[in-house]
Structure 1
Amino acid sequence: MAEEQTDVVFSPKLQKAYFEIQKLRLPAARELIDDERTAMPGNPLIAYLDSYADLHYLLIAEDRNRYKTFVQQEDNRLDDVGKLSEKSPYKRLFQADIRLHSAFAKLKFGNEVSGSWEIIKAYRLLEDNRKKFPAFTPTLKSLGLLHVLIGSIPDNYTWIAKILGLRGNIAQGIRELREVAHEEPFFRQEAELIDLLLHAYTLQLSPAQQTRIRQWPAEQPDNLLLHFFATTVLMKENKSDEAAHFLAEAPTGKEYMPFPFLDYLRGEIALQDGDYDASFSHYARFLKQYRGFNYIKDSYFKMFMCRWLAGRDQEAAGYMQKVTQTGSTIVEADQFAERMAKEFTAGSIHASQKVLYKARYATDGGNFQRAFELMKMVSEKSFETTYEKAEYNYRMARILQKSARVNECMPFYERSVALGQSDAGAAGFAASSALQMGYIYQKKADNQKAAAYFRKAMSFKKHEYKNSIDNKARAALTELGQ
């Protein structure tokens, strides 16, 4: 019988290690954990922090060898925290969190079935812990996250959640995370970070949250994760000038884990600014240093764009070949790059589309005036295919919407939806247009029309953005009580 551990020891070194992990100062964190491993080998917090540090490393480095080791170590770590007394509320919390770390790593590495089972097991452990220790708030950190994720499952999968006994509720999940942030100083930052991430990528950020994202890196100048998070969220919000500031301020040094993806982000911002040479160099540097498998196709596609949009068409072509020869198609950006490479080979990418790409990148970066000036040079008639016509209407609508010209954008969105219904190839633009119209009607408090458009967004089949659009539409419908 394994020796029963009475409880977790939150030693000063291990507490510091936990916060170092959240700064991506992984070498520094591992040093602290290893010191404690010698001093207190039976402390279950060590196994928990080992797993937590590995998850951060794997999500960023995408290191397949380390991933294999991580999967093999899971059972030992579960055994280590399993030695905790049944009277300790940390026993099931740590078991659930180690399973969640494993789930997110498995999903990242494309092992969906195994990752999903880990989520189910984690959910059951957390529910059990909630019943046994109702006053133990830290359980809500992970349970709240799962309530939001399960609550935003697209309609066609909700029956699976019901059969497995998984209950999702977005509003409840957010309340639970905020209770942790309010009540638990140790887990406050993690709960707040999860809350912000969920709003940035599945729900929508409030003005207060947008302010918080800007404040945080200033409060913790040595926190690389917060600088990265501020950069990516601001880029998502079409504020690349601001994002570039946080990226430039990001801390570096041997205490931090290598983070080549920051060069990819620099490439994106330069591309949006129309600085094609600088952008090309950043993507090239990213590919040289990176050992992972996501965003490789996308980077080669963007290198093609840097040359093609600069009028260096012959030079550009070679990079499209690399798109098909390397990388994976797990993330939407890589799926899009792969499709564009096939279309390029088939001769379906035309010079007339250059203006659409320039306008798209300018819009992504937040330069709506430049994007509008570019789009004024063309009309729907300038394009040959339904796909291009749908893209023209979607781009025009997006620029007008982002420029606070909401009433003017609606006919363009409507037209894009109509074109997507007549041609499956244009489904991605149609679905994106329907989603945006849903948001517009939601803001106008016309919930009936909003719900109809969110459902319409989910109705489009096979396109690169199906998962993320369905998740957002599902989450919005849940918020509307539908």
Structure 2
Amino acid sequence: MYATWTPGLQRAYSDLIKLRVTDARAQIARENPNNGLTIWLANYAEMITLLVSDDESGYDRKSDLLQTRLERLEALPAESPWARMLQAEVRLHDAFVKLKFGREVSACWDIIKAYKLLDENARLHPTFLPQLKALGVLHILIGSVPENYTWVTRLIGLRGNVQQGLAELERARQDPVFRTEVEMVTLLIRSYILRFTDADTKQLTILVGQNPDNLLLHFFGATIQMKNGQSDKALLFLESRPTGSAYLPMPIIENILGDIYLQKGDESASIRHYEQFLRQYRGQNFLKDTYYKLFLSHWLSGNPAVALPYLQKVRTVGRTVTESDKAAQKFAETQGNRGLTPAQTVLMQARLATDGGFTDRALAVLAPYTEIRFSTLADRAEYQYRLGRIYQRRNTPELSLAPFRRAITLTDSAGAGLSFGATAALQLGYIHQQKGQRTLARQFFEKALSYKKHEYKNSIDNKAKAALNQM
């Protein structure tokens, strides 16, 4: 056994991160099976296919193959810097798939084993750049673990912080083979765990433009832009994405397109894309979310009789692994067969438009209203939070301070379960951090962490802890 890049394996790897999986597999089959990189890439191809297809039965059928691959990689010379790294990455591949299917405990053990392999490898081979790709991500994730869980990471020997992880990813970019993947991973980390800046947006646009044949980059670029309230730019990435039989089918793109058109207020287009997603998709994640969005599309277009059966469907399909599915399930259980009240309908229109970055539309929706027009504490808290987000997205953060603070006050009065206090506190933390007001920023990040039960707790806590870690 040995581990060496060949021109063919480099082509296969390049095809894999473009989602040209069939071409990659054909090339991998032509390579020496005793090359550790051949085994790693074969596993990489499987991981990508399972994550995109959401085929849990396919994973169960191939679980024995994973163990065989690990055993073969263990036969690599112990002195090779690739030996532990490739074993770690295969374990991480397995962990990502397990997390997708809700097998969190088993995934956590794989992540711990992968971390220990990479940590040992970094001590033995400190100048080996490829290992920093995964190690940097793990150090950022460890560094963003909420404070009340850090004792667990210390107990099992996991060490790391956000700044360390970012520095390692920056070093990993120097490896010419992995550069594109590292840049993509770094932007995802900045979007989903840290804070996405205008400079990051510019870098993302350049990266996607430099890789017109990379479907994975167009997809992740679109999800990042949507995450950061730039759905028009996300739509451009998806409309310019490469297509054809050479690429792995991605039904989830139809779901994302449905989200964009729902945010734009084009419910008929959103319905077409959601229905297309359901026709193509064979997995169990995102089903609750999609039926919830179909309910919204019909409800907001003035068809409550058509909408309500979709809301009832939410409670009977899919699983609750993703935050979006959990939120859909919670909404369906709370609303029952009632649908949205008039006040909730207004707030939902404002939310969708704001999430997409269509702030003119969002502001116009809320313009006729004041807090007093909403009868419940929950609706009043949401009204203030939506108003704050609109002003924040319009680059007038000073105007967002009072609504965010009011959202916190109303959430605290309403009791457990609402997310608006936590999300408002997080945004206030970012605003004060950007202004250099570190004490205030820290207070609001800690306030965001203090909320015990809401559907976005994992992501809010990760972001708040990562921000505190950076400070």
Q: Please tell me the TM-score bracket, short chain as reference.
A: over 0.9
Q: How does 1:70-469 map to 2 (within 5 A)?
A: 70-182=62-174, 184-345=175-336, 347=338, 349-424=340-415, 427-469=418-460
Any conservation in 2 of the 1:387–1:425 contact (CA below 8 Å)?
no
How far is the alpha carbon of 1:70 from its aligned partner? 3.8
How far is the alpha carbon of 1:346 from its aligned partner? 6.1
Any conservation in 2 of the 1:146–1:173 contact (CA below 8 Å)?
yes
Any conservation in 2 of the 1:54–1:70 contact (CA below 8 Å)?
no
**In the aligned structure 1, how far is the partner of 2:64 from the partner of 2:390?**
49
**In the aligned structure 2, how far is the partner of 1:349 from the partner of 1:271?**
16
1:11 and 2:23 are equivalent in the alignment: no
1:27 and 2:22 are equivalent in the alignment: yes
Q: Deviation digits for residues 134-180 of structure 1, max 9, x if unmatched? A: 22222222211111111111111100000111101111111111111
Moved more, 469-478 or 356-365: 356-365
**In the aligned structure 1, how far is the partner of 2:64 from the partner of 2:282?**
21
Q: Deviation digits for residues 296-355 of structure 1, max 9, x if unmatched? A: 111111111111111111111111111111011111111111111122216473122111
**Gaps (5+ residues) in structure 2?**
none
Any conservation in 1 of the 2:12–2:27 contact (CA below 8 Å)?
yes
Q: Which one-letter code corresponds to 1:389 in the other structure?
A: R
Instruction: For residue 185 of structure 1, give the secondary structure of its aligned residue in structure 2.
Output: coil
Q: Deviation digits for residues 395-445 of structure 1, max 9, x if unmatched? A: 011111111222221111111111111223553011100110111111111
Are residues 269 and 348 of structure 1, via their aligned partners in 2, closer, same or farther at CA, if it must alter by over 3 Å?
Answer: closer
How far is the alpha carbon of 1:197 from its aligned partner? 1.2
Q: Deviation digits for residues 216-275 of structure 1, max 9, x if unmatched? A: 222121100011111111111211111111101111111111100110111011101111
Aligned position for 2:50 = 58
Q: Deviation digits for residues 102-137 of structure 1, max 9, x if unmatched? A: 111111211111111111111111111112222222
Any conservation in 2 of the 1:390–1:426 contact (CA below 8 Å)?
no
TM-score if structure 1 supplies the norm length? 0.95
Any conservation in 1 of the 2:135–2:165 contact (CA below 8 Å)?
yes
TM-score if structure 2 supplies the norm length? 0.97
Q: Which one-letter code corresponds to 2:79 in the other structure?
A: K
Any conservation in 2 of the 1:362–1:371 contact (CA below 8 Å)?
yes
**In the aligned structure 2, how far is the partner of 1:261 from the partner of 1:330?**
16
Root mean square deviation of aligned Cα? 1.3
How far is the alpha carbon of 1:393 from its aligned partner? 0.7
Any conservation in 2 of the 1:386–1:426 contact (CA below 8 Å)?
no
Moved more, 346-355 or 358-367: 346-355
Instruction: For residue 213 of structure 2, give the secondary structure of its aligned residue in structure 1.
Output: coil
Any conservation in 1 of the 2:173–2:182 contact (CA below 8 Å)?
yes
**In the aligned structure 2, how far is the partner of 1:176 from the partner of 1:225?**
23
Instruction: For residue 255 of structure 1, give the secondary structure of its aligned residue in structure 2.
Output: coil
Are residues 70 and 478 of structure 1, via their aligned partners in 2, closer, same or farther at CA, if it must alter by over 3 Å?
Answer: farther
Q: Which one-letter code corresponds to 2:418 in the other structure?
A: A
**In the aligned structure 1, how far is the partner of 2:333 from the partner of 2:119?**
47
How far is the alpha carbon of 1:377 from its aligned partner? 1.4
**In the aligned structure 1, how far is the partner of 2:415 from the partner of 2:292?**
23
**In the aligned structure 1, how far is the partner of 2:133 from the partner of 2:26?**
26
**In the aligned structure 1, how far is the partner of 2:88 from the partner of 2:292?**
39
Q: Deviation digits for residues 340-388 of structure 1, max 9, x if unmatched? A: 1122216473122111111111111111111111101112122222111
**In the aligned structure 2, how far is the partner of 1:294 from the partner of 1:126?**
31
Are residues 117 and 206 of structure 1, via their aligned partners in 2, closer, same or farther at CA, if it must alter by over 3 Å?
Answer: same
Instruction: For residue 419 of structure 2, give the secondary structure of its aligned residue in structure 1.
Output: helix
Identity of aligned residues (%): 44
How far is the alpha carbon of 1:196 from its aligned partner? 1.3
**In the aligned structure 1, how far is the partner of 2:401 from the partner of 2:284?**
39
**In the aligned structure 2, how far is the partner of 1:427 from the partner of 1:224?**
37
Moved more, 247-256 or 133-142: 133-142
**In the aligned structure 1, how far is the partner of 2:179 from the partner of 2:97?**
23
**Gaps (5+ residues) in structure 1?**
none
Any conservation in 1 of the 2:422–2:448 contact (CA below 8 Å)?
yes
Structure scoring higher RCO (CA < 8 A, sep ≥ 6) equals 2
Q: Which one-letter code corresponds to 1:477 in the other structure?
A: L
Instruction: For residue 138 of structure 1, give the secondary structure of its aligned residue in structure 2.
Output: helix
Moved more, 199-208 or 94-103: 199-208
Any conservation in 1 of the 2:311–2:332 contact (CA below 8 Å)?
yes
Any conservation in 2 of the 1:273–1:362 contact (CA below 8 Å)?
yes
**In the aligned structure 2, how far is the partner of 1:247 from the partner of 1:135?**
38
Q: Deviation digits for residues 74-126 of structure 1, max 9, x if unmatched? A: 21111121121112111011011111111111112111111111111111111
Any conservation in 1 of the 2:343–2:379 contact (CA below 8 Å)?
no
